[in-house]
Structure formats: structure tokens, C-alpha cells
Structure 1
Amino acid sequence: MLLRRAEAMRLKVHTAAESLGNLFVETFHYLSLFAIGAITAWAGLVAFLGMVEKGNVTVDDILLLFIYLELGAMVGIYFKTNHMPVRFLIYVAITALTRLLISDVSHHHRPDMGVVYISGAILLLAVAILVVRYASSRFPAVSAESRHRLPRDNEAETLE
């Protein structure tokens, strides 16, 4: 009897501590996401205003705006699903490398091994996206609900 009450009390303390910890972690995540979203929007706006002030737009500028768009989409997806889309990080990397490649070729006008290296890195990241997509479809992740479920009342009775 005493052991059963002690176990029930332990489960209540565990549940309360887990709920409080989840509250703090989720609060931090949401505040961080708001900050990241606001900074991304601000950076995109500053880049856009710089293009307007400059009076012309280059492919580099457009790709930079795509990077900001992808970062904003990542924040939005995390808000909706509570999962960080790794593929979007890879998309950002591919866009950044493409921007670097276009800038390098347009400014230096000479193909060298740097172009091959950057192209190889883009190819490697594209293969990584295929691997991540295959792995996520073949081995789906555990849902957040099953990870953070609260213990049921009858679980305390079965533990002795």
C-alpha cells in the first residue's frame, strides 16, 4: 500500500516536472522563432530596399531574396508542425552555393577548379536531399504526441 502511494506520488511529481520543463522549452522555442522570423523579415526588407536604392537587380539579389524566403518558410513550417525541416536547410545551402557560383563566374569570367568544387558541393547536397526524403518516407519519425503523452491513471496501479 505504501509502495503504491509512493509510486503514484512519484508519477505525479514526474508529470508536473515534465509539464513545467515542456512549458519552458516551448516558450523558449516560440520566442526564438518570433525573433528569427522578425530578423529574417527585416533582413529581407533591408535587402529589397537596397535593391530599390541601387536601381537595378542582379541574379545574386534575387537568389538572396530566395534565401530569405526559404528561411521564413522554415520558421513557418516549424510553427505549424514543431519539426525542423532539414531539407529546407539543405535548400538554403544549395541556393547560397548557387549564388556564390553565379557571382564567381559573373565577376571573374574564368572557369577554374572553384567552379567544379562548388558544382560538386551542389550535387552532393542534392543527393543529400534525395537521401533525406527517402529516409523520411521509409522510416517516419515518432510523432510528438506519443513522445510527450501523459501517463494514464491505471499505469500507476500496474506498477508495483
Structure 2
Amino acid sequence: MKINWAEKLRQNVHELAESLGNLFVETFHYLALFAIGAVTAWAAVMEFLGMLENGHIKIDDILLLFIYLELGAMVGIYFKTNHMPVRFLIYVAITALTRLLISNVSHHNPPDIGIIYLCGGILLLAFSILVVRYASSAFPSVKVDGPRRKGEASLETEKGEL
């Protein structure tokens, strides 16, 4: 025999703890996003001011600004959708490797196997974007409206709600 008032109290405490936990997690989440966005913007501005102070801008500098732009876009997309597209991380990696490659070549370093490794890394990352894009279109994480295929569960069924 269950004590009804104790079970209701337990459920209320559980709901309160879950609500407070969600509040704290989401608050930390948004504060961290603001901090990352602010630091990215600050770093981009400081780098740009440094370029102006030098009096000349190199291709390395422009690619670095593109990296900051991509990081800012990632923060913005995460704010809007609450999802982090892996593609953007790969774009940042490609831009960083391209910047390193251009920097190595422009500083007249003698050609060596390192250039082949960098180019291979860029090619591998570009191929991984192709795979990720194909996978996300062929196997979307969120079902769009339309008739269900045989044996396919609805979102409510997957969550355990009917």
C-alpha cells in the first residue's frame, strides 16, 4: 500500500529538481555561448587592428579572419538551432590547414613531404564534408512530414509517448 501524499510529494520534488536543473544547465549554456562569441569577436577585432598597425595584410591574415568568421557563425547557428553542425568544425580545420600551407609556401620553405601531408589532410577533410552532407541528407536526424515507411516509428513513439 502506497502512501498517496508521500508519492505526490516525491513527484513534486522530482519535478522541481528537474526544472531547477534545466534552468541551471540552460543558463550556463547561454552564458558560455555569449563568452565564446565575445572572445571570438574580440580576437578578430584585435587581429584586424594588428593588421592595420602593420600597414600590410598577408593572405595568412585574411584566412585567419575567415577562421574567426566561421567560429562566429558556429556560435550563431548554435544559438539559433541548439545544434552544432560538424561541417563547420571541418570548415575551420580546412581553413586552418590551408592557412598553414600558404604560410609554409609563402615563406619559401623548401618543398618537402609536409606539403603532401597538408594537401592530403585538406583532401581528407573535404571528402569528410561530402560524407557528412550525404549522410545528413540521406539519414536526417529529424523526420520531415510525410508518410511513414513500414516499421518506422513516429517521434512520439520513440520518446515513449503515445
Q: Is TM > 0.5 for Structure 1 vs Structure 2? A: yes
Identity among equivalent positions (%) equals 72
TM normalised by structure 1 equals: 0.81
Q: Does 100-109 or 128-137 show the bigger shift?
A: 128-137
Q: Does 101-110 or 52-61 show the bigger shift?
A: 101-110
Note closer, same or farther for the CA distance 1:138–1:18 as it changes in structure 2 (3 Å cut): farther
- Displacement, 1:134? 1.7
Residue in structure 1 matched with residue 22 of structure 2 by the alignment:
22
- Displacement, 1:85? 1.7
> Any unmatched runs of 5+ in structure 2?
144-154
Note closer, same or farther for the CA distance 1:123–1:7 as it changes in structure 2 (3 Å cut): farther
- Displacement, 1:84? 1.2
SS at match of 1:84: coil
> Any unmatched runs of 5+ in structure 1?
156-160
SS at match of 1:108: coil
Take 2:72 and 2:112, find their aligned partners in 1: how far apart are those partners?
Answer: 34
TM normalised by structure 2 equals: 0.80
Q: Does 51-60 or 132-141 show the bigger shift?
A: 132-141
CA RMSD of aligned residues (A): 2.7
Take 1:132 and 1:18, find their aligned partners in 2: how far apart are those partners?
Answer: 34
Count of paired positions: 148
* Higher helix content, 1 or 2: 1
Residue in structure 1 matched with residue 42 of structure 2 by the alignment:
42
Residue in structure 1 matched with residue 64 of structure 2 by the alignment:
64
- Return the letter of the residue paired with 1:63: L
- Displacement, 1:92? 0.4
- Displacement, 1:119? 0.5
Note closer, same or farther for the CA distance 1:32–1:106 as it changes in structure 2 (3 Å cut): same
- Displacement, 1:17? 2.4
Take 2:87 and 2:5, find their aligned partners in 1: how far apart are those partners?
Answer: 48
SS at match of 2:107: helix
Q: Does 130-139 or 79-88 show the bigger shift?
A: 130-139
- Return the letter of the residue paired with 1:69: L
Matches within 5 A, 1:27-106: 27-106=27-106
- Displacement, 1:62? 0.3
SS at match of 2:22: helix
- Displacement, 1:88? 0.6
Residue in structure 2 matched with residue 158 of structure 1 by the alignment:
none
Take 2:65 and 2:10, find their aligned partners in 1: how far apart are those partners?
Answer: 52
Q: Does 108-117 or 72-81 show the bigger shift?
A: 108-117
SS at match of 1:141: coil
Note closer, same or farther for the CA distance 1:22–1:57 as it changes in structure 2 (3 Å cut): same
SS at match of 1:2: coil
